[in-house]
Amino acid sequence: MSKTVALDIGLVVAGHGRHYIVETPEGERLICHPRGKRSDCVVGDRVRWQASGDEGVIEHVEPRRNLLFRQDEWKIKSFAANLDQMLLLVAAEPVFSESQLARALIAAEHAGIPARIVLNKIDLPASGAARERLAPYAAMGVDVLEVALKVHQDEARAWLADLLHGRTTLVLGPSGTGKSTLINLLVPDARAQVGELSLALGTGRHTTTTTQWYWLDRERSTALIDSPGFQEFGLRQIGVQHLPALMTDFRAHASQCRFYNCTHLHEPDCGVRAALDRGEISASRYRIYGEIVAELAPR
Ligand SMILES: Nc1nc2c(ncn2[C@@H]2O[C@H](COP(=O)(O)OP(=O)(O)OP(=O)(O)O)[C@@H](O)[C@H]2O)c(=O)[nH]1
Ligand SMILES: [Mg+2]
Ligand SMILES: [Zn+2]
């Protein structure tokens, strides 16, 4: 006789420490705890769970289509799984770190998740400077959308609706760029959904402290994931030799290097540094590359 129990399937919609909120296919939400380390999960995971009183126990995580990592100090932290795309939100103010932006794009590329940059708060005078700093990204083929989520709401809503429709989209970026503003603009009952989750998980209300899943529609086909603002976006999960291939502008020129294992730092006849000299790779991107190499290189 098989002792296998048919386990229910669920979607992880929020997590805080070792507590998770799992949504059933019927749309009910309950608190779940993982059984052991092997069932560590992230928002967006499909899990098999079993009822235990009013709560649930996560028995295992279904195979993932993709998984976005972000390393925090010395720990590798995963963010979210099974994503269709990412919106990297930056703003005219506060001034964003180009290094953190570049890193987030590299992480997305590594995870195989299409990413777009959204520049918010273009109503502010500092938006000109922000636009200039994003020019290398637009030049290398990253889509850069410009919005004022608080000021031109209808325009932003119309603009984003098509992009998001039927997909699961992770919204990430530094703190204070407007990620929650974007969620509130598109999810009519977001405040209610947040309130409920915050209550269940015992977290705060204003600055986002946990990654949270929102449905945009009753049919539950379009989803947005809000995430806490990041300060540091570490990339320790990436081998240093793979870095140039994950930077679109570098990848385009690395095939011109004399040495197949060129590090693009000091070798002669380097295609990347030639492109840098011609202005086809920006000085800031090259500097950021050097920083990340120094960080990832084995000591
Ligand atoms: N001027 C201006 N301010 C905006 C715009 N959109 C959002 N803001 C303001 O920016 C501030 C931060 O917005 P949030 O949506 O809380 O930012 P967040 O990215 O969720 O921040 P964290 O949760 O801390 O990561 C709020 O005071 C918003 O009102 C905009 O288009 N223009
Ligand atoms: Mg927020
Ligand atoms: Zn080279």
pLDDT of residue 189: 76
Does ligand 1 have an atom closer than 6 angstroms to the CB of 121?
yes
Q: How far is the CA of 296 from the centre of ligand 1 (A)?
A: 33
pLDDT of residue 283: 97
Q: How far is the CA of 254 from the centre of ligand 2 (A)?
A: 38
pLDDT tens column, 88-125: 999 999 999 999 999 999 999 999 999 999 999 999 99
Q: How far is the CA of 267 from the centre of ligand 3 (A)?
A: 7
CA distances from 286 to 23, 104, 258 (A): 44, 16, 19
Locate tokens 């799992």: which residue? 22
Which token pair is 149?
A: 């989520």
Instruction: Indicate which ligand has the atom closest to the C-alpha of 94.
Output: 1
- The pTM score is 0.91
Does ligand 1 have an atom closer than 6 angstroms to the CB of 123?
yes
pLDDT of residue 232: 80
pLDDT of residue 1: 44
pLDDT of residue 197: 54
Does ligand 1 have an atom closer than 6 angstroms to the CB of 127?
no
The residues, any chain, with a CB within 8 Å of residue 31's CB and separated by 6 or more, are 19, 20, 21, 22, 54, 55, 56, 200
Residue ranges, the chain, pLDDT below 70? 1-5, 38-39, 72-76, 191-206, 299
3-state secondary structure 78-96: EEEECCCEEEEEEECCCCC
Name residue 244's amino acid. Answer: P
Does ligand 1 have an atom closer than 6 angstroms to the CB of 72?
no
pLDDT of residue 208: 73
Instruction: Indicate which ligand has the atom closest to the C-alpha of 177.
Output: 1
Does ligand 1 have an atom closer than 6 angstroms to the CB of 181?
yes
CA distances from 30 to 11, 61, 177, 196, 220 (A): 10, 16, 31, 11, 17
Which token pair is 283?
A: 């000085």
CA distances from 217 to 158, 184, 187, 213 (A): 15, 13, 8, 12
